Amino acid sequence: MAPSSRSLDLIRIRPAASDQLRLVAAVLEDASERLREMGWEQWPVPFPVDKVLFPDSGAVCYLAWDGDLAAGTFTLQRRDPVFWPAAVEATGGISAWGADGTRPVYLHRFATRTGYRGLGGLMLREAETIALDWGANLMRLDCVAADARIRRYYEDAGFEYRGDIQPAHLTFPASRYEKRLRES
């Protein structure tokens, strides 16, 4: 599907309703096909709708809308025991925070459809605003460790490398990144 010629300032980012999770999966599939052409395996195609949200993570999925087209997606969650198992994180429910003063939010399934140059930056800024509204002071994420391009993208966006991890369910190591959030 070709992108609209509309300006990115007309993009609207909103939480995905439960009946829109298939649209989230479609955006992830589009991004996965593009990455596969570049030699990277990211998400399965078709993407299983029941895997869009991690259970018990306080996850909220967002869609970036270009008119009636879902052009991008990301998920924010309060816990990430898979990629950040040793992190001090919310364990007493969505409002609990780490005893060390950290209040992390985890960014997952960050993707755009083909042809939306600049949409990723817009979505990152919106994710940071949402995380701040939630009371977070850190944003954490993971990406394919061998993908220098995506790692550079996150580093250019202000994220700092925090080491690699090899979760049992992955066939490749993931690099973890973190960014301290500042209220504006």
Q: Kindly state the average pLDDT of the residues 130-136.
A: 93
pLDDT confidence of residue 66: 94
48 falls within a domain:
yes
Contact assessment for residue 17 and residue 98, using Cβ atoms and an 8 Å cutoff: no
34 lies in a domain?
yes
- How confident is the model over 83-110, as pLDDT tens digits? 888 775 555 544 556 656 788 999 999 9
Classify the phi-psi angles of 18: left when phi > 0, otherwise alpha if psi is within -120 to 50, otherwise beta: alpha
Tens of pLDDT along 105-117?
999 999 999 889 8
Residue 162 belongs to a domain: no
Per-residue confidence at 183, pLDDT binned at 50, 70, 90? low
Q: Which domain covers residue 18, as residue numbers?
A: 11-141
Q: Is residue 43 part of a domain?
A: yes
Could you tell me the CA-to-CA distances from 147 to 25, 41, 152, 153, 161 in Å, in that order?
Answer: 22, 10, 9, 10, 13
- CATH number, domain with residue 62: 3.40.630.30
Residue 1 counted as domain residue: no
**How many domains, the chain?**
1
**Residue 164: inside a domain, yes or no?**
no
Is 2 domain-assigned? no
pLDDT in the model for residue 1: 46
145 φψ region: left (φ > 0), alpha (ψ -120 to 50), beta (else):
alpha
| pLDDT recorded at residue 155 | 98
Best CA proximity match to 61, nearest among 13, 93, 103, 99: 13
Distance from C-alpha of 39 to C-alpha of 156, rounded to nearest angstrom: 22
The pLDDT value recorded for residue 95 is 53
Mean pLDDT calculated for residue range 136-159: 94
H-type helices in the chain, by residue range?
21-37, 119-133, 148-156
User: Could you tell me which residues come within 8 angstroms of residue 106 by beta carbon, excluding any fewer than 6 positions away?
Assistant: 57, 76, 77, 78, 79, 80, 83, 84, 139, 140, 141
pTM of the predicted protein model = 0.87
Report yes or no on 38 lying in a domain.
yes
| Range scoring the smallest mean pLDDT among 42-46, 57-61, 115-119 | 42-46
